[in-house]
A and B are shown apart, each in its own frame.
Chain A
């Protein structure tokens, strides 16, 4: 392409790139030149990657075979024992399952409530810009803050939920929400619902590309607004659904603040997720190697999900 345009412009490039040399060697020279140029432009990125990804993975592989503390001295080689211990730990297994459970709930909430909120906002209701900001806020402010506030609301004495129940006359339902599995999970689900701001943003922006004519036609056919949402817009926004699902699945392994500040795994560590598990193991006595093994396992799972995501989206783009 570049060869043709240069030659057709009929000018001689002072750098010699467009000089009337045989086409093949000119192309080869350009490839070599741009190869080095590209390397120069890519150098900062590759430097970051070399240190924080390539070296990190290699380092994790090494440290996961040791028992060592935060100071990384006096390490004891233990082979694959750390991996065995991590994989057989019921708390770890539970944490991975929790990742998936919480992701599923997040997805369900995004595809239903998130979708409807976005559609309702898109109808141009009054104050919809301000309401839009409010829906987005919990997702965009530091999660450590929001989860802390939410965690305080769950407190038995003086927590806002219990106080609200008292005020509306359901005082009998007051309890320590983090004392039993069922209510603790429910509390996390509620917290997850607060965080569907970004899917709302996606639906909101993607609905702009829908053809008005289709919607007007269905209105003329007598469809109610909610039928339009459910039967026309929902199927139309298929790709957005896919985006939301895949991104939430992926993000489930990145979550940390969410649990660390709200439940911290209560009760008895059963709402913990992979992030909190790794963090707590790293701070245990001589636990850095163990945490590294857990990190490797989580990385592998996350990278597999990412591969699937890239393949699926490439396929849907063709």
Chain B
């Protein structure tokens, strides 16, 4: 009886060992310092490209163009969600995954992955010449400054800024609602929409990281440089401007402009609500501008016909529209890549080559390549044209950089702001808690 069970178990065990031996050993990855991998010299090249943004369809269109122009190079794309990517990429690079091109979230990820990346200077000769002049020097400088050792590890695809409000123009027209410019107007619009049966007129991402962007969007309306000062360690969190900003943000919820239930929407849920017409306003960053592009909507089966954008509503009476911007969408080559020359070619193509036109038509970034990319053909309605112009104008206006201390944001800042919005704590207590945590030494930052 026992023998009957023993035999299949033994067979299974032996085959498991056999498989494991055949599968071979693993890799050392980046532990103990990663050496740049030797280059493979012959044969067709397949590049492994991991990133979080732009979306699948847009990126694939650009990749298809590249593969057509370079028949011997294939690109395998793998997309992650923005939040997962921050954890998965360092683990993958350190774990020895063979990647050739990786997207880098400039502010959030540069320092966690830079020890696994090749500095741009090491493969500059493989890039298509002219990158220093073709890319906006301000953005390149921001990308370089994001690394604590001030080395350039990646080339930025473009710039993003936040916060903005995107609106369903046809829905507003239907209920005869003017585009709101102030918080009160937004509250009035929400009330009207709720009366018409739309339960969540204004949606935004309920994740912690987004709350900081709205908070500094509101504060920036009266004090555009405060964000920079705080993150450079030159100003305290525990000050009236922050308390006021938190109170203003909370007032948007208290007045009914934004419903508290939207804080339960995380990830892509707000986008889904807006895209299906369940919400009239989407509060998001300039990366949501893709929704203004007709070709993007068509490619992603979004049935909205008329979408516009506007700056975040003014809360304080003397405020001016404000947004924080930063270079984003860095493309880097990991040390584990064995196809640096081909990867450099791909990066050139995507950041200042022919690829820019292909992804820019979906308005995913404001391109870092300076030479005139203005996708006017994709903006088919007046609202879209005006909205895009607003986004561009507010992004270029002087303001703070869209930086933060990522761990502080994830563990303290985001949760604290959410607590204020949910009423669990007061703005004063929150500001004090932020300052205590900021100066604790647990989250290294400039001026610490």
Contact = CB atoms under 8 A, between A and B. Distances in A.
- Whether A and B touch directly in their complex, counting CB atoms under 8 A apart, is answered as yes
Interface of A: 67, 69-74, 81, 85, 88-89, 91, 155-157, 176, 178-181, 267-269, 280, 283-287, 290
A283 B85 CA distance: 12
Contact of A287 (B31, B33, B265, B407): B407
B97 interface: no
B116 to A, nearest CB: 7
A81 B440 CA distance: 11
Contact of B90 (A81, A156, A269, A283): A283
B264 A267 contact: no
Nearest to B415: A268
Contacts of B416: 268
A72 B407 contact: no
Contact of A88 (B33, B263, B411, B440): B440
B261 A176 contact: yes
Given A71-B94, A73-B115, A180 B424 contact: yes
Nearest to A179: B422
A67 B264 CA distance: 35
B116 A283 contact: no
B419 interface: yes
Nearest to B423: A180
A162 B129 CA distance: 59
A291 to B, nearest CB: 12
B418 interface: yes
Interface of B: 30-34, 87, 90-91, 94, 111-112, 115-116, 208, 260-261, 263-265, 269, 406-407, 411, 415-416, 418-419, 422, 424, 440-442, 444
17 contacts: A70-B90, A70-B91, A70-B94, A71-B30, A71-B33, A72-B31, A85-B440, A85-B441, A85-B442, A88-B440, A89-B440, A176-B263, A268-B418, A268-B424, A269-B415, A280-B411, A285-B406
Contacts of B33: 71-73
Most chain A beta carbons < 10 A, residue from B32, B87, B94, B407 = B407
Overall SS of chain A's interface: loop
A151 to B, nearest CB: 12
A155 B264 contact: yes
A23 B116 CA distance: 67
A74 B263 CA distance: 40
A75 B115 CA distance: 12
A290 B442 contact: yes
Overall SS of chain B's interface: helix
A132 to B, nearest CB: 22
A56 to B, nearest CB: 15
B30 A179 contact: no
Contacts of A89: 440, 442
Given A286-B444, A290-B442, A71 B115 contact: yes
B422 A267 contact: yes
Nearest to B90: A70
Given A280-B411, A283-B91, A71 B440 contact: no
A55 to B, nearest CB: 15
A268 B407 contact: no
Nearest first, the 8 A-B pairs at minimum CB distance are A268-B415, A156-B264, A176-B264, A284-B407, A71-B30, A73-B33, A70-B94, A71-B115
Nearest to A73: B33
B115 to A, nearest CB: 5
B111 A285 contact: yes
A286 B416 CA distance: 23
A85 B411 CA distance: 14
A268 B419 contact: yes
Given A67-B444, A176-B263, A179-B264, 8 more contacts: A70-B31, A70-B112, A71-B116, A72-B32, A89-B440, A155-B264, A181-B424, A284-B407
Contacts of B444: 67, 285-286
A285 B91 contact: no
Nearest to B149: A74
Contacts of B115: 69, 71, 73-74
A34 B265 CA distance: 66
Most chain B beta carbons < 10 A, residue from A69, A155, A178, A290 = A69
Contacts of A280: 411
Given A69-B112, A71-B33, A267 B261 contact: no
A290 B34 CA distance: 22
Nearest to A84: B441
B31 A285 contact: no
A176 B91 CA distance: 32
